[in-house]
Amino acid sequence: MDNLGFIVVGYGLTWLVLSGYTWRVNRRLESADRALAEWNESDDRARESAAAAPSA
C-alpha cells in the first residue's frame, strides 16, 4: 500500500478520536450519576432527621 503512513494515521486517528470521546462522555455520565446519588442520599438523611426530631 502506497502512502501507508498517511492511511494508518488517518484511520487510526478516526478510531482514536471517536472512541476517546465516547469513553470521556461515559466517564462523565458515571461521575454525574454518582454525584446525584450522593445528593439524593443526603436529602434522604436530612428528611429522616427532620422527621425524627420535629422542632418543639
Partner 1 sequence: MSAKSKPAALLGLVALAVLLAGSVVGLFVVPADAAQGDVQRLMYVHVPAAWLAFLSFFVVFLMSVLYLIQRDLRWDRVAASSAEIGVVFTVLTLALGSMWGKPTWGVWWTWDPRLTTTAIMLAIYVGYLAIRSFADDPEKRARWAAIVGIIGFANVPIVYLSVIWWRTLHQPPSSPRSVAPEILWTLMLNLAAFTLVYIYLMMRRIRLARLEGKLEERVAYHG
Residues that bind partner 1 (CB under 8 A): 1-4, 6-7, 9-11, 13-15, 17-18, 21-22, 25-26, 28-30, 32-33, 35-36, 39
Other C-beta atoms closer than 10 Å to the C-beta of 29 total 10
Positive/negative CA dihedral, 39, 42, 46, 47: positive
From the CB of 51, what's the least distance to partner 1, in Å?
19
- Between CA 56 and CA 42 the distance in angstroms is 23
Q: Compute the least distance from the CB of residue 27 to partner 1, in Å.
A: 10
Min separation Cβ 49 and partner 1, Å: 16
